[in-house]
Amino acid sequence: NAGVTQTPKFQVLKTGQSMTLQCAQDMNHEYMSWYRQDPGMGLRLIHYSVGAGITDQGEVPNGYNVSRSTTEDFPLRLLSAAPSQTSVYFCASRRSSGAPLHFGNGTRLTVT
Amino acid sequence: TQLLEQSPQFLSIQEGENLTVYCNSSSVFSSLQWYRQEPGEGPVLLVTVVTGGEVKKLKRLTFQFGDARKDSSLHITAAQPGDTGLYLCAGRGDTNAGKSTFGDGTTLTVKP
C-alpha cells in the first residue's frame, strides 16, 4: 500500500513559470486536500475536494487551481509562479470527514 | 475561521525530562488530532480525541481534550531523543465540511 504519493519531491521554478504538483492515493479516500507549510505558520489549507468532480477553496487559494477527475488523483496547478509561493506543499487524504488525514511526503518548491 | 494556538513554539530539553505542549482555541471542535512530523516527511497521526474531558495514553504520551472541547494538551514523560520532531494539533469543527484547522506547531528537541 503506497498511501499518498506526491511528485516531484523538489522543484525550482522561475517567476512566471507554470507547473503541476501531482498527488495520488490508493486508499479509495473520498476526501483530498492540499496544504502549504511555511516556517512558523503551520499548515494552511489551499484547496480541498470531498469527492470526484467536487472541489472547493481553503484558506489560501489564490494563485492555485485544482481538479478532481478521479478519486485517486488531485493535482495542484500553479499557473504563474511567484516567489511568495516558495513553500513545502503537502497533499493529504482521509476516508471520511471525521477520519484522520494521511499525508504525502511533500514537495519542496522554490520560486526565484 | 477557527484558529488554534500552540505553545510553546520551540522547546529544547534534556533526555529524561517531562514536558507539556498546549493547543488552545476560542472555538469548539468536534474532534482534535495530534500529529508528529519529522524533517522531510509529512505529519503522521498520533491520536484523535473527540469527547470533552477525554484522556488518551500512548506509551509515554498523554493527551487530554478540554471539557469544553476548545483546548488540548500533550504531555510527554521521560522524553527521549526519538521524540524530537514537530508536534501539530488539528481541530475539526461541526460545520466545515470536514476541513481541519492546524496550529502552528511546537518544535521539540530532546538532547541526549
Spell out a b/e string for B21-57, using b for 16 or more CB atoms within 10 Å of the CB, else e: bbbbbeeebebbbbbbbeeeebbeebbbbeeeebeee
Q: Which chain B residue's Cα is nearest to A42?
A: B104
Write out pLDDT tens, residues A72-97: 999 999 999 999 999 999 999 999 87
Q: Does A45 reach chain B within 8 Å, measured CB to CB?
A: yes
- pLDDT (0 to 100) of residue B97: 58
Q: Which residues of A touch B2 (CB under 8 A)?
A: none
Write out pLDDT tens, residues A25-75: 999 999 999 999 998 778 999 999 999 999 999 999 999 999 999 999 999
- pLDDT (0 to 100) of residue A69: 97
Distance in angstroms (rounded) separating the CA atoms of residues A104 and A81: 22
Show which residues on chain B lie within 8 Å of chain A, measured between beta carbons.
1, 6, 9, 30-31, 33, 35, 40-45, 48, 88, 90, 92, 97-105
Query: Which member of A59, A94, A103 has the closest CB to residue B1?
Result: A59
Could you report the average pLDDT of every consecutive run of 10 residues in chain B (112 residues)?
Answer: 87 97 92 93 95 95 95 97 96 72 94 96
